[in-house]
Protein backbone atom coordinates (compact mmCIF):
# COMPACT_ATOMS: atom_id res chain seq x y z
CA UNK A 1 0.00 0.00 0.00
CA UNK A 2 2.84 2.37 0.86
CA UNK A 3 4.52 1.69 -2.47
CA UNK A 4 1.24 2.41 -4.27
CA UNK A 5 0.81 5.71 -2.46
CA UNK A 6 4.38 6.67 -3.32
CA UNK A 7 3.71 6.06 -7.03
CA UNK A 8 0.50 8.09 -6.90
CA UNK A 9 2.31 10.97 -5.24
CA UNK A 10 5.41 10.81 -7.44
CA UNK A 11 3.49 10.73 -10.74
CA UNK A 12 0.32 12.83 -10.17
CA UNK A 13 -0.28 13.29 -13.91
CA UNK A 14 -0.30 9.53 -14.34
CA UNK A 15 -2.77 9.13 -11.50
CA UNK A 16 -5.08 11.78 -12.96
CA UNK A 17 -4.90 10.02 -16.34
CA UNK A 18 -5.87 6.71 -14.72
CA UNK A 19 -8.85 8.21 -12.93
CA UNK A 20 -10.17 10.48 -15.69
CA UNK A 21 -9.36 8.54 -18.85
CA UNK A 22 -9.38 4.91 -17.76
CA UNK A 23 -11.46 4.24 -14.65
CA UNK A 24 -14.08 6.83 -15.56
CA UNK A 25 -14.67 5.01 -18.87
CA UNK A 26 -15.34 1.68 -17.28
CA UNK A 27 -12.02 -0.13 -16.90
CA UNK A 28 -12.39 -1.62 -13.44
CA UNK A 29 -9.90 -4.51 -13.19
CA UNK A 30 -7.78 -3.65 -10.16
CA UNK A 31 -4.77 -5.56 -11.49
CA UNK A 32 -4.88 -3.57 -14.72
CA UNK A 33 -5.17 -0.30 -12.83
CA UNK A 34 -2.23 -1.25 -10.58
CA UNK A 35 -0.15 -2.09 -13.65
CA UNK A 36 -0.83 1.39 -15.03
CA UNK A 37 0.12 3.00 -11.73
CA UNK A 38 3.44 1.14 -11.83
CA UNK A 39 4.07 2.19 -15.46
CA UNK A 40 4.17 5.99 -15.79
CA UNK A 41 3.48 6.99 -19.40
CA UNK A 42 6.26 9.61 -19.32
CA UNK A 43 8.86 6.81 -19.48
CA UNK A 44 7.70 6.01 -23.02
CA UNK A 45 7.19 9.41 -24.67
CA UNK A 46 10.16 11.73 -24.86
CA UNK A 47 10.59 15.37 -25.87
CA UNK A 48 7.04 16.44 -24.99
CA UNK A 49 5.56 18.24 -22.00
CA UNK A 50 3.82 16.14 -19.35
CA UNK A 51 0.54 17.79 -20.26
CA UNK A 52 0.80 16.42 -23.81
CA UNK A 53 2.22 13.04 -22.75
CA UNK A 54 -0.80 12.34 -20.55
CA UNK A 55 -3.33 13.82 -22.97
CA UNK A 56 -6.28 11.71 -24.06
CA UNK A 57 -4.94 10.76 -27.50
CA UNK A 58 -2.21 8.78 -29.26
CA UNK A 59 1.21 10.45 -29.44
CA UNK A 60 3.92 10.21 -32.07
CA UNK A 61 7.02 8.19 -31.18
CA UNK A 62 8.74 8.68 -34.53
CA UNK A 63 9.13 6.51 -37.63
CA UNK A 64 5.47 7.04 -38.47
CA UNK A 65 4.39 5.16 -35.33
CA UNK A 66 2.38 6.15 -32.27
CA UNK A 67 1.91 5.25 -28.63
CA UNK A 68 -1.77 4.42 -28.28
CA UNK A 69 -4.34 6.46 -26.40
CA UNK A 70 -4.20 5.55 -22.68
CA UNK A 71 -7.79 4.32 -22.61
CA UNK A 72 -7.25 2.04 -25.62
CA UNK A 73 -4.17 0.49 -23.99
CA UNK A 74 -6.20 -0.10 -20.82
CA UNK A 75 -9.21 -1.49 -22.68
CA UNK A 76 -7.09 -3.93 -24.68
CA UNK A 77 -5.23 -5.01 -21.57
CA UNK A 78 -8.43 -5.67 -19.65
CA UNK A 79 -9.91 -7.56 -22.60
CA UNK A 80 -6.94 -9.95 -22.57
CA UNK A 81 -8.21 -11.33 -19.23
CA UNK A 82 -4.76 -12.11 -17.89
CA UNK A 83 -4.26 -14.08 -14.69
CA UNK A 84 -0.47 -13.96 -14.40
CA UNK A 85 0.13 -17.43 -15.86
CA UNK A 86 0.01 -16.59 -19.57
CA UNK A 87 2.61 -16.49 -22.30
CA UNK A 88 1.75 -13.47 -24.44
CA UNK A 89 2.88 -12.42 -27.91
CA UNK A 90 2.66 -8.71 -28.73
CA UNK A 91 2.78 -7.56 -32.36
CA UNK A 92 4.07 -3.99 -32.50
CA UNK A 93 6.38 -3.08 -29.61
CA UNK A 94 6.55 0.64 -30.32
CA UNK A 95 8.21 2.41 -27.42
CA UNK A 96 7.21 -0.40 -25.05
CA UNK A 97 4.27 1.10 -23.12
CA UNK A 98 1.79 -1.68 -23.79
CA UNK A 99 4.64 -4.17 -23.43
CA UNK A 100 5.47 -2.95 -19.93
CA UNK A 101 1.85 -3.09 -18.80
CA UNK A 102 1.53 -6.64 -20.15
CA UNK A 103 4.73 -7.70 -18.43
CA UNK A 104 3.24 -6.77 -15.05
CA UNK A 105 0.21 -8.98 -15.68
CA UNK A 106 1.55 -12.00 -17.61
CA UNK A 107 4.16 -14.64 -16.90
CA UNK A 108 6.19 -13.98 -20.07
CA UNK A 109 5.87 -11.52 -22.95
CA UNK A 110 7.36 -11.88 -26.41
CA UNK A 111 7.19 -8.71 -28.47
CA UNK A 112 7.92 -8.11 -32.16
CA UNK A 113 8.74 -4.77 -33.79
CA UNK A 114 9.77 -4.23 -37.42
CA UNK A 115 11.69 -0.99 -36.69
CA UNK A 116 14.95 -1.83 -34.93
CA UNK A 117 15.40 1.65 -33.44
CA UNK A 118 12.03 1.44 -31.69
CA UNK A 119 12.74 -2.06 -30.41
CA UNK A 120 15.99 -0.85 -28.87
CA UNK A 121 14.27 2.16 -27.33
CA UNK A 122 11.58 -0.08 -25.84
CA UNK A 123 14.20 -2.37 -24.36
CA UNK A 124 15.90 0.62 -22.73
CA UNK A 125 12.59 1.94 -21.39
CA UNK A 126 11.75 -1.40 -19.78
CA UNK A 127 15.25 -1.72 -18.36
CA UNK A 128 14.73 1.61 -16.58
CA UNK A 129 11.65 0.15 -14.92
CA UNK A 130 13.39 -3.09 -13.95
CA UNK A 131 11.14 -5.29 -16.11
CA UNK A 132 12.85 -8.58 -17.01
CA UNK A 133 10.17 -10.98 -18.30
CA UNK A 134 10.11 -9.65 -21.88
CA UNK A 135 11.87 -11.05 -24.97
CA UNK A 136 12.34 -8.68 -27.91
CA UNK A 137 12.49 -9.48 -31.62
CA UNK A 138 12.91 -7.35 -34.75
CA UNK A 139 10.94 -8.96 -37.56
CA UNK A 140 7.84 -8.84 -39.74
CA UNK A 141 5.17 -8.90 -37.06
CA UNK A 142 2.49 -10.12 -39.45
CA UNK A 143 4.30 -13.48 -39.40
CA UNK A 144 4.18 -13.70 -35.62
CA UNK A 145 6.98 -15.46 -33.77
CA UNK A 146 6.46 -19.17 -34.48
CA UNK A 147 9.64 -20.36 -32.77
CA UNK A 148 8.13 -19.69 -29.32
CA UNK A 149 4.52 -20.68 -30.07
CA UNK A 150 1.97 -21.55 -28.86
CA UNK A 151 0.87 -18.42 -27.00
CA UNK A 152 -2.03 -18.08 -24.58
CA UNK A 153 -2.75 -14.61 -25.92
CA UNK A 154 -1.69 -12.61 -28.95
CA UNK A 155 -2.25 -8.86 -28.87
CA UNK A 156 -1.86 -6.86 -32.08
CA UNK A 157 -1.27 -3.12 -31.70
CA UNK A 158 -1.58 -2.26 -35.38
CA UNK A 159 -4.45 -2.64 -37.84
CA UNK A 160 -4.90 -6.09 -39.38
CA UNK A 161 -6.52 -6.22 -42.85
CA UNK A 162 -9.91 -7.92 -42.71
CA UNK A 163 -9.27 -9.72 -45.99
CA UNK A 164 -6.09 -11.38 -44.70
CA UNK A 165 -7.30 -12.45 -41.28
CA UNK A 166 -8.32 -15.96 -42.34
CA UNK A 167 -4.82 -16.74 -43.67
CA UNK A 168 -2.85 -15.02 -40.91
CA UNK A 169 -0.03 -17.16 -39.43
CA UNK A 170 -1.03 -15.82 -36.03
CA UNK A 171 -4.01 -18.18 -36.03
CA UNK A 172 -1.63 -21.15 -35.97
CA UNK A 173 0.35 -19.75 -33.04
CA UNK A 174 -2.47 -19.61 -30.51
CA UNK A 175 -2.75 -22.26 -27.81
CA UNK A 176 -5.96 -24.17 -27.19
CA UNK A 177 -8.48 -21.89 -25.46
CA UNK A 178 -6.33 -18.84 -26.31
CA UNK A 179 -7.25 -15.93 -28.54
CA UNK A 180 -5.99 -13.02 -30.61
CA UNK A 181 -7.00 -9.46 -29.72
CA UNK A 182 -6.55 -7.12 -32.67
CA UNK A 183 -7.91 -4.09 -34.51
CA UNK A 184 -9.37 -5.66 -37.66
CA UNK A 185 -10.71 -3.75 -40.65
CA UNK A 186 -9.62 -1.32 -43.35
CA UNK A 187 -6.65 1.04 -43.52
CA UNK A 188 -8.60 3.88 -41.92
CA UNK A 189 -11.11 2.23 -39.57
CA UNK A 190 -11.08 -0.95 -37.49
CA UNK A 191 -13.03 -2.87 -34.88
CA UNK A 192 -11.18 -4.19 -31.86
CA UNK A 193 -11.89 -7.89 -32.21
CA UNK A 194 -11.33 -11.06 -30.19
CA UNK A 195 -10.47 -13.86 -32.61
CA UNK A 196 -10.51 -17.59 -31.90
CA UNK A 197 -9.85 -20.47 -34.24
CA UNK A 198 -11.98 -23.52 -33.49
CA UNK A 199 -11.01 -26.36 -35.80
CA UNK A 200 -11.42 -24.81 -39.24
CA UNK A 201 -13.81 -22.08 -38.13
CA UNK A 202 -12.85 -18.57 -37.06
CA UNK A 203 -14.98 -17.01 -34.35
CA UNK A 204 -14.94 -13.22 -33.96
CA UNK A 205 -16.25 -11.09 -31.11
CA UNK A 206 -16.37 -7.37 -31.80
CA UNK A 207 -15.56 -5.10 -28.86
CA UNK A 208 -15.07 -1.47 -29.89
CA UNK A 209 -14.38 0.75 -32.88
CA UNK A 210 -10.82 2.08 -33.14
CA UNK A 211 -8.17 3.50 -35.46
CA UNK A 212 -4.59 2.16 -35.44
CA UNK A 213 -1.57 2.55 -37.69
CA UNK A 214 -1.41 -0.09 -40.37
CA UNK A 215 0.28 -3.46 -39.99
CA UNK A 216 3.15 -3.52 -42.48
CA UNK A 217 4.33 -6.92 -43.72
CA UNK A 218 3.49 -10.01 -45.71
CA UNK A 219 0.05 -10.35 -44.11
CA UNK A 220 -0.50 -6.63 -43.57
CA UNK A 221 -0.46 -3.76 -46.03
Query: Using one digit for the tens of pLDDT, what is the confidence trace for 115-160?
Result: 999 999 999 999 999 999 999 999 999 999 999 999 999 999 999 9
Number of domains in the chain: 1
Task: With a cut of 70, say whether residue 4 has pLDDT above it.
Answer: no
Residue 29, judged by CB atoms within 10 A of its CB (0-12, 13-18, 19+), counts as middle
Q: How many CA within 13 A on the CB side of residue 221?
A: 14
Give percent of the chain with pLDDT exceeding 90: 86
Give residue 51's pLDDT.
Answer: 87
3-class DSSP assignment, residue 137: strand
Q: Tell me, yes or no, if 95 is annotated catalytic.
A: no
CB 70, CB 139: distance < 8 Å? no
CB 92, CB 155: distance < 8 Å? no
In a domain, 79, yes or no: yes
In a domain, 66, yes or no: yes
Task: Report H helices in 66-217.
Answer: 70-79, 97-103, 116-128
In a domain, 114, yes or no: yes
CATH number at residue 125: 3.40.50.150
Give residue 68's pLDDT.
Answer: 94
34, 49, 57, 68: which one is catalytic?
68
In a domain, 221, yes or no: no
Give residue 1's pLDDT.
Answer: 56
Give residue 200's pLDDT.
Answer: 75
In a domain, 219, yes or no: no
Domain hosting residue 185, numbered range:
2-210
Query: Using one digit for the tens of pLDDT, what is the confidence trace for 160-194?
Result: 999 999 999 999 999 988 999 999 999 999 999 99
Cα–Cα distance between 154 and 97 in angstroms, integer?
16
Per-chain mean pLDDT for the chain: 94
Query: Using one digit for the tens of pLDDT, what is the confidence trace for 95-109?
Result: 999 999 999 999 999
CB 211, CB 191: distance < 8 Å? no
Query: Using one digit for the tens of pLDDT, what is the confidence trace for 51-101?
Result: 899 999 999 999 999 999 999 999 999 999 999 999 999 999 999 999 999
- The closest of 3, 184, 160, 127 to 136, measured between CA atoms, is 127
In a domain, 216, yes or no: no
In a domain, 199, yes or no: yes
In a domain, 218, yes or no: no
Contacts of 51 (CB under 8 A, 6+ apart): 13
CB 61, CB 94: distance < 8 Å? yes
**Cross-strand partners of 81:** none
Cα–Cα distance between 6 and 57 in angstroms, integer?
26
Amino acid sequence: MEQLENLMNKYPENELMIKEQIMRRGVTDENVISAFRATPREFFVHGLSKQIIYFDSPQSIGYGQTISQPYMVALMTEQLRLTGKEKVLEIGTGSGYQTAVLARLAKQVYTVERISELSLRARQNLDRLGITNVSFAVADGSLGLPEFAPYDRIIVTCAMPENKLSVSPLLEQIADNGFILAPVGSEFFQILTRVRKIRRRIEKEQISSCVFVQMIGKYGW
